[in-house]
Structure 1
Amino acid sequence: MDKIDVCNMALSRIGIDNIEALTEPSEPARACSQFYDHCRRVVLRKYPWTWATRRVKLAELTDKPQGFSYAYRYPASCVALRKLYNAYFDNIPAYTGYQIVSDKEGRAIYTNVANVSAEYTADIDDTGLFDEQFIEALSWKLAGAIAFKLTGNAQLPGYCDEQYMALFLDAAANNEDEQNMRDKEPYTLIAARFGGDF
């Protein structure tokens, strides 16, 4: 399963013929090329997928921001920062405070906590690492993004989004099960936790 396969799944969902490459001179290829990476990052960002989770010790910056004791470089591959921690905090509490800012080198994290590590969802583009249910959800997300452009059917994007939402919630629930955590979140709460604008 590669990027073209995911795109062709999305095209099939809306009744459009398959493509051979994203670079071919066709409207379906141009639409998939335009929306694929955006949709992939949106679905990645929506949930802490186990296969996309990364943990790194943050690089401390030499410049000390006003009002904070430490500055760290934001992880380059991060699409969603899940938590900050160190030897004393499993998850740095809100009262200690941290702020994410942009500087000339990219993004930085300002905080008053020393020796910080981060847990985050990475910008994974290797489809070989994708969970099968993630692929199902992503293909529907992409189908919804390209449906009107390719078919002119104003009802089709809404249908695709409904299918995406159902598959996303199922994929998130199964991913939660695989974590085998003591205080595992019940299946019925996942929709509430990750509900809203998908």
Structure 2
Amino acid sequence: MSSVTSICNLALSNIGKKLISDINEQSTEAKTCKLHFDLARDTMLQGYEWEFAKSIVDLAEVANTRADRWERTYTRPTNCLKPIRIVPEVYVSDDIEVPYAATEGFIFCNQSPAKLEFIRRFEDPSRLPPLFQDALSWALAAKIAIPLTSDQSTRKDAYQIATSTLEAAKVADANENYSTWAENSALINARG
């Protein structure tokens, strides 16, 4: 089962450093991994619309602070790393987009009630797909290479491998989901 420590150990192994027993131990390796792990994970999650990290939630409406532009103001979920879209009240097709703005911890739009589809902070490493874990270990390796090795070449190599493993993870993730909503909707409309 994967854990933060096991992913950190992959990263440490990737750059030829000593493995750790626990992320909270007092070694330089553990402290460096702990410093960079959350940001490396969240950066990877925010940078792509990962199927495994998507979530939909009803937004909580608050006092409108932008009434000059938007009819409604909602609190942005605390675990929201990347808003994807406001889910339309009635599904017609994937092409229907509800305008919104996400800033200052709020989501602004003209729809009420509103549901937000977003990329969430995914804190349980045991549920991360294997290719994402591999890409994350290389991204973390690129971040910790200089503090732990002072070797630009090691960092450069880790960054290049991180880039290629990230692309492989994206391809695998994109192949995880296939939606026939649009096709079925077009067929139903053609019958009518």
TM over 0.5: same fold?
yes
**1:9 Cα shift?**
0.3
Match of 2:74 in 1: 72
- Tell me the distance in 1 between the aligned counterparts of 2:131 and 2:120: 18
**1:99 Cα shift?**
2.3
For residue 118 of structure 1, the aligned residue among 109, 116, 119 is 116
2:37 is the counterpart of 1:42: no
**1:165 Cα shift?**
0.9
Contact residue 84 and residue 118 of structure 1 kept, 8 A: yes
Q: Which has the larger radius of gyration?
A: 2
**SS of alignment partner, residue 163 of structure 1:** helix
Q: How many residues align?
A: 177
CA-atom RMSD in angstroms: 1.8
The normalised TM-score by structure 2 is 0.85
Q: Which amino acid aligns with 1:84?
A: I
Q: Which amino acid aligns with 2:113?
A: N
2:138 is the counterpart of 1:158: no
Q: Which amino acid aligns with 1:25?
A: Q
**SS of alignment partner, residue 82 of structure 1:** strand
The normalised TM-score by structure 1 is 0.83
Q: Which amino acid aligns with 1:14?
A: I
Closer/same/farther in 2, CA of residues 111 and 92 from structure 1, 3 Å limit: farther
Q: Which amino acid aligns with 2:116?
A: A
- Tell me the distance in 2 between the aligned counterparts of 1:181 and 1:161: 33
**1:25 Cα shift?**
1.9
- Tell me the distance in 2 between the aligned counterparts of 1:73 and 1:164: 34
Match of 1:196 in 2: none
Match of 1:181 in 2: 179
Identity %, equivalent residues? 25
- Tell me the distance in 1 between the aligned counterparts of 2:139 and 2:116: 28
- Tell me the distance in 1 between the aligned counterparts of 2:26 and 2:87: 48
Divergent runs of 4+, >6 A: none
Match of 2:147 in 1: 149
**SS of alignment partner, residue 114 of structure 1:** coil
**1:101 Cα shift?**
2.8
Q: Which amino acid aligns with 1:37?
A: D
**1:92 Cα shift?**
6.0
Match of 2:187 in 1: none
Match of 1:167 in 2: 165
Q: Which amino acid aligns with 1:145?
A: K
**1:64 Cα shift?**
5.2
Contact residue 83 and residue 92 of structure 1 kept, 8 A: no
Match of 1:53 in 2: 54
- Superposed CA deviations along residues 72-124 of structure 1, whole A, max 9, x for unmatched, are 1111111111111221465763xx6422232xxxx111222222211111101
Contact residue 98 and residue 109 of structure 1 kept, 8 A: yes
**SS of alignment partner, residue 162 of structure 2:** helix
- Tell me the distance in 2 between the aligned counterparts of 1:73 and 1:53: 18
Q: Which runs of 5+ in 1 are unaligned?
A: 184-198
